Structure 1
Amino acid sequence: MLIDRRGEQIRIDFAAEEAGLLTVLAHQFADVVRDPELDDAPLLARLFPDAYRDDPDASAEFRHYTRDELEARKIGAAEQIAATATEGLVTLGLADAETWARSLTDLRTMVGTRLGIRGDDDEPAAGPLTDIYHWLGELQWLLVDQLDGP
């Protein structure tokens, strides 16, 4: 994967495996958030934490007014990645790149939750899923670095 910025566009050159992996992860993420039958309680608790931990009623009311919009934004961002992550050169405008960066946080949270990561100091055991977790972090870091550039 190579990434660079040309003016108001960020270009990412993906290998077929990288594009395929991003697409699969984005679809999995959207499916878990969208479909109550695929309820993944630990992941959903991390994605949509209680706004008021000491007040269940206030948290329920907050969730009532915000959850649908948050879900729609997260699903939309993941679907954008799934639709645009292709083998070869992917060109993103700055707004789309920002959407990608936010969604990569969610994808990485999904993978990290599956690995049992709960805090910054947790380091998962070596393995393919851990490699994916680290790769998503690297992609996100490089993307944010390009967004912060000139």
Structure 2
Amino acid sequence: MGNHGAVVRRVFTRRGDDVVAKLSVEDKALLVQIPDLLATVGVIPDDAAISVLYRNAYRDDPDASAEFQELVGSQLATDRDADLDVLMELTRATQTISVDEAKSVLRAINAARLTLAARANAFDTGSGWETRISQDPALAAVAWLGGLQSDLIDALSG
């Protein structure tokens, strides 16, 4: 993904069974926008984010995909809401979170990154989207979220 807009400072570090977050005011200001962003998925006509966040479980079998969505769709929405709650708590006060909470934050960041990337057609241009970062704020946000995500993965892995 390159280093365009990537996190160059350590935001997340592992401390035993916990992850410590050192979010700046700017980090928090951007992260608090994620729930509103994800609330728009499916509301915008022909939203490219739908196909990225809600992939068909069975591409060759629409009936099986519909049944799968019926069985797990509401649980996925509940889980996403819980992930967003953890993210919002992290932006308000909590600086130390459990590994499970860190995984929730990771999922919320990933959903936002995928949503922005899909809407900016980053998947259609392959790696060429990186050359447009300086001209497109949405792609700059994709790169920043990717750096933050990478930093959190490193903390969880270490």
Question: TM-score, normalised to structure 2's length?
Answer: 0.80
Structure with greater contact order relative to length (CA < 8 Å, sep ≥ 6): 2
Structure 2 residues without counterparts, runs of 5 or longer: 1-8
| Matching residue of 2:6 | none
Counterpart contact for 2:18–2:98, Cα < 8 Å:
yes
C-alpha distance in structure 1 between counterparts of 2:128 and 2:77, whole Å = 28
Identity among equivalent pairs (%): 26
Alignment match of 2:27 (pick from 4, 7, 18): 18
| 1:20-78 superposed Cα distances (whole Å, 9 cap, x missing partner) | 1001123321x235xx6556632122111111111111111111111111111112212
The one-letter amino acid paired with 1:100 is: V
Q: 1:120 to 1:90 in 2, by over 3 A?
A: farther
CA-based RMSD of the aligned residues comes to 2.3
**Count of matched residue positions in the alignment of Structure 1 and Structure 2:** 145
- Structure 2 counterparts to residues 1-150 of structure 1, below 5 A: 2-29=11-38, 31-32=39-40, 37=43, 41-86=47-92, 90-118=95-123, 121-124=126-129, 125-126=132-133, 127-149=136-158
Question: TM-score, normalised to structure 1's length?
Answer: 0.84
Counterpart contact for 2:49–2:116, Cα < 8 Å:
no
Q: 1:80 to 1:110 in 2, by over 3 A?
A: same
C-alpha distance in structure 2 between counterparts of 1:121 and 1:28, whole Å = 23
Structure 1 residues without counterparts, runs of 5 or longer: none
